Amino acid sequence: MAGHPSSFVVDLVWGPHLPPPRLPVSCLTAEEQAVELQRVQQRRAADTAYEAELILGMAGERPAKDDPAPGTPGARRSGWAVDEGYAGVSEFFTAELSMVLNLGRRTAGHRYARASTWARKLPRTLAALAAGELDERRASELADVLQHTNADVAGQVEDALLPEATELSVHRLRNRATELMVELDAAAADERRKDAEKTADVHVHPSAVDGRSTLAADLPTDEAVECADIVDQLAKILKADGDPRRIGALRAHVLSLLIRRPADNGLPSVSADVRVTADLDSLGGTSGAAGEVNGLPITATHVRELLARVGALGLTTPEGGTLSFAVTGPDGELLATLTPADLDRLARRGCTTHPDSECSCPVTGPPPETEAYEPTDRQRAFVTTRDRRCRFPNCGQRVGWADLDHVIPAACGGATDCANLCCLCRSHHRLKTFAPGWRFAMTDDGVLTVTTPSGVTRTTRPPGMRPPPAETAPQPPPPADDPPPF
């Protein structure tokens, strides 16, 4: 370009990703395999640094000025968990990042916080990561420890530990970084405790054994130690009284009883909300289809044992509980939710068109549309049974904490109808309503499609619905004859 010696053109082409050529592992000696493993670790470190730069680049395109201002509808409310934005970045960015990475919001938030800490406080650590000189795990430990201290203290800890970081075990590196940080900035340690108290929660994680899960609570260390000691003492008393179970099983049993049957703790009496989802054939023993307890998978045998335990094997309403039936179609799509009284009434009434003959006419279906903004009780029962949890990709918050959202807003003509309602947790409901650039669409059977401002689209199906069969590409017909040369 004459007259513009400093001008240049960059031509970027995105094509299919081709992995680097690699020799089969069977062709490598043990020494060569060890060298190749180290190379893989170096490439992973460099990719992690590049990922951090990409995350921060995207974050820079999502300014906080686009979020609802304090005192306006949709603004942050104190006391509720919100995603953290750094350096003026939108609180909704973490949700978009979780969509892009196809990961849970907590994992996406951790990667965003890690990238921000490396860039703002630990630039030499980020450079070592990009060069493959420091592995991802050790770089992450430094970021986790130094996230809440100031850049000056973080830099001093980095200067002291980075030269020897690869020679220290991961555990030792974390301890040394924590010791130095506390020496230089005790206030940062207090800040970490305050932040941990704000975000403390109780979580249920499915274990590797079907039908069992882990209940975890984030507590102050003194309270956690006290709780564990009380549980241990009570378990030892049961063991001394002759209970044959292992001491660990007794501890788990004691903890469950203390929570489900509290006494003298000053808390009001409550009943647990336990939602059991089971296939009717599984209850009768003619199918092995798995069921769910509050979204956690359990086997058909466990379903039958559970229902027998609460007195519901005969399909009667358990004492103090409720019983409803979900009628599904051939692909698992929800067609109707019915109580035992509904079933009895429909069985007696039958088909109004063919009252004296057997027919296949439907006698029930989804609750009808309402002209009101608030969903009816029957609509709420249908949608929560269909969705079971927040439908935002990779969220899964249980329906007890979810709102029923109009996918097409009522202000835009969206109907209060089950085909236009879905469960969204409060955080993702706010995002859909107030974050610019997001698009939500849902089919009549509840398949939800979400598109981010950056153009990433993900689809979630109601948990019980099976995906459509994969379409196979038509094969060309065989040639009539072999073409030359023969």
Identify whether the C-beta of residue 110 lies closer than 8 Å to the C-beta of residue 98.
Answer: no
> Considering only CA atoms, which of 335, 294, 296, 338 is closest in space to residue 315?
338
Residue 449's identity, in one-letter code, is T
Output the pLDDT for position 13: 56
pLDDT at 16: 62
Distance of alpha carbon 302 from alpha carbon 212, whole angstroms: 10
- Angle at alpha carbon of residue 57, lines to 397 and 84, rounded to 5°: 40
Contact 415, 369 (CB under 8 A): yes
DSSP 8-state class, residue 177: H
3-state secondary structure of 146: helix
pLDDT (tens digit, 0 to 9) for every residue of the chain, 486 residues total? Answer: 444 555 555 555 556 666 777 878 888 899 999 999 999 999 999 999 999 999 999 999 999 888 888 888 878 776 554 556 677 899 999 999 999 999 998 899 999 999 999 999 999 999 999 999 999 999 999 999 999 889 999 999 999 999 999 999 999 999 999 889 888 887 777 777 777 787 788 888 777 767 788 898 988 877 887 888 888 888 888 888 888 999 999 889 888 888 877 765 554 554 555 666 666 666 566 666 666 665 556 565 665 565 565 454 455 666 666 667 777 777 778 877 877 777 667 666 666 676 666 666 666 778 999 999 999 999 998 999 899 889 999 987 876 667 899 999 999 999 999 999 999 998 899 999 999 999 999 999 999 999 999 999 999 999 878 887 765 445 555 544 444 433
Q: Measured between alpha carbons, how far is 110 from 451 in angstroms, rounded to an integer?
A: 22
pLDDT of residue 258: 85
Are the beta carbons of 463 and 470 closer than 8 angstroms? Answer: no
CA–CA dist 122, 15 (Å, integer): 34
For residue 406, what are the β-bridge partners? 421
d(CA 237, CA 221): 25
Q: Tokens standing for 143?
A: 């970021």
Neighbours of 5 (CB within 10 A): 7
CA atoms within 13 A on the CB side of 302: 15
The one-character DSSP state at 345 is: H
